[in-house]
Amino acid sequence: MSHTDTAAPPERFNFARHLIALNAGRAGKTALIDDAGTLTYGQLADQVQRFSAALQALGLKREERVLLLMHDCSDWVVSFLGALHAGVVPVCVNTLLTAKDYAYMLADSRAQAAFVSAALLPTLQTALETGGHEVKHLIVSRAKDPLPAGAHDFAALASTQAPGQDADTHGDEPAFWLYSSGSTGAPKGTVHTQSSLYWTAELYGKAVLGLKESDTVFSAAKLFFAYGLGNGLSFPLSVGASVVLMAERPTPQATFKRMVDHQPTVFYGAPTGYGGMLASPELPLRSAVALRLCSSAGEALPRDIGERWTAHFGCQIIDGIGSTEMLHIFLSNRPGDVRYGTTGKPVPGYEVQLRDEDGSVITGHNMIGDLYIQGPSAALLYWNNRAKSRDTFQGAWTKSGDKYTRDPDGYYTYAGRNDDMLKVSGIYVSPFEVEATLVQHPAVLEAAVIGKTDDDGLVKTKAYVVLKAGAQATEAELQAFVKEKLAPYKYPRFIEFMTELPKTATGKIQRFKLRELENQRLFVRR
């Protein structure tokens, strides 16, 4: 099936205009529920159009960039859609970064304005004080203290304007940016189009997840992530569903509170979050929640976590893989066809290939290859980075940087990131496979596996393990456990116990930091 089976948007296409038209008959229905209250679809449409007019009144022009640095709330949604409506390009950034990171992004994007939550204003001000940026307007959301000189209050700014006319944008026009995590060098500004949001909502939100107007959705992944942007904005608003937004970190306690208080029917999280919730003594009873479906992305979901979640709540976790470059999930399990431990099959509308080290397409089964994707939601490029753009966006195909295998039934199984793969005794070892086996041990909460060079200069597997609270296990016990389940050469020759693993803001394990730690130790020994 190709994406042509889903009706393509018209050539002149504005995603904000599209959503307003879709929901014209739902003016009184709740669209957004955040920590401060609710917003109906009618109120959302009004605020988006007023904010669009306010941006134009400030002198912001088509294709100019604006930094969007806000905690999840209705103002984030209004800011994003209001910018798209005006043809202004929001640059959505992680709320957990440093002033140095924001200074880089402001200069790199040449943002003309910045939208910021009051709680994040001090960090942004530090970034602005470093200079090297073009910010002319500062718009602050939900400020309780007096605003800095010249800054605008978000609510007041929007309320002063009559609803504005949308920009007659092209579907292929740059619409918004997302910065990649930057774990290997400086973050890359990934440029997406107006139509990218349409395609992911149609091909995944509707066709795979089966979201409906009657759903209430809640995403632990924040809106500034590609995954969260689909989960909490483009998918639910494309079907007239209601969205629960949470500003604070998605701790198990904070997540449980929203699950119980707002009764979402669909929940989106990451494997680390699901594992943490299952380990929490405050895990709610099945009868206390209304979940019909859960989604996971960010890292491959261990089979054990999926099975335990389904056993407790009676609903499946639909595990998939997406990327900033493709905007959302392109390879996924689906409701009624979940095979825990795999990432499922290609999402209809996308094609995937596994390629060997020479670039040839792998047609056999159970062979590790590099994953490439073709689909309509691919980004245009990385801003100011032609070399990496050409390496990642290869004609119609996008290189994911992930390694996968495909079984005879067509299910794909994650084997690790290209830079995480290990070669032990000349054979590839997937660190994820070893990690997924370790976490099946009843004492293990989390594990991360890297390569460690032994005294003979040979690479062997080493596992960093976090035990569950109050649990005990020895190195020999865990090694024997893995040996029973995997080929002998895969078991971790070294195990180190830790209280926590280094992670990104999305909860992904930062194996490169563990490799750096090992390299430092090797240097000291020598």
DSSP designation for 265: S
Count Cβ atoms below 10 Å from residue 32 Cβ, excluding itself.
Answer: 26
Q: Model confidence over 77-87: pLDDT tens digits?
A: 999 999 999 99
Q: Indicate the fold that domain 10-156 takes in CATH.
A: Rossmann fold (3.40.50)
Percent of the chain with pLDDT over 90: 80
pLDDT of residue 415: 86
Q: Of 152, 145, 4, 14, which is closest to residue 82 (Cα–Cα)?
A: 14
Helix (H) or strand (E) holding 81: helix 74-86
Range 59-63 contact pairs with CB under 8 angstroms and sequence separation of 24 or more: 59/136, 60/86, 60/88, 60/112, 60/113, 60/137, 61/88, 62/86, 62/87, 62/88, 62/167, 62/169, 63/87, 63/88, 63/89, 63/173, 63/174
Q: Say if residue 523's pLDDT is above 60.
A: no
Q: Of 137, 182, 116, which is closest to residue 383 (Cα–Cα)?
A: 182
Tell me what the pLDDT averaged over the chain comes to: 93
Contacts of 155 (CB under 8 A, 6+ apart): 75, 142
Residues 230 and 22: their CA atoms lie apart, in Å, by 17
pLDDT of residue 430: 81
Q: Beta partners for 243?
A: 32, 217
Give yes or no on whether 10-156 and 430-524 have one common fold: no
Where exactly are the structural domains of the chain? 10-156, 430-524
Residues 46 and 159: their CA atoms lie apart, in Å, by 10
Contacts of 239 (CB under 8 A, 6+ apart): 205, 206, 211, 212, 213, 215
Measured N-to-C along each axis, helices 15-22 and 74-86 cross at an angle, to the nearest 10 degrees, of 120
Tokens of 370: 């590099």
Q: Of 391, 407, 396, 301, which is closest to residue 354 (Cα–Cα)?
A: 407
Contacts of 180 (CB under 8 A, 6+ apart): 187, 188, 190, 324, 325, 382
pLDDT of residue 516: 87
The DSSP bridge pattern shows strands 266-269 and 216-219 to be parallel
Residue 180's pLDDT band, with cuts at 50, 70 and 90, is confident
Residue 51's pLDDT band, with cuts at 50, 70 and 90, is very high
Between CA 93 and CA 104, with CA 98 as vertex, the angle to 5 degrees is 65
Q: What pTM was computed for the model?
A: 0.86
The class that CATH gives domain 430-524 is: alpha beta
pLDDT of residue 426: 62
CB–CB of 459/427 below 8 Å?
no
Residue 183's pLDDT band, with cuts at 50, 70 and 90, is very low
Q: Model confidence over 397-420: pLDDT tens digits?
A: 999 999 999 999 999 998 877 777
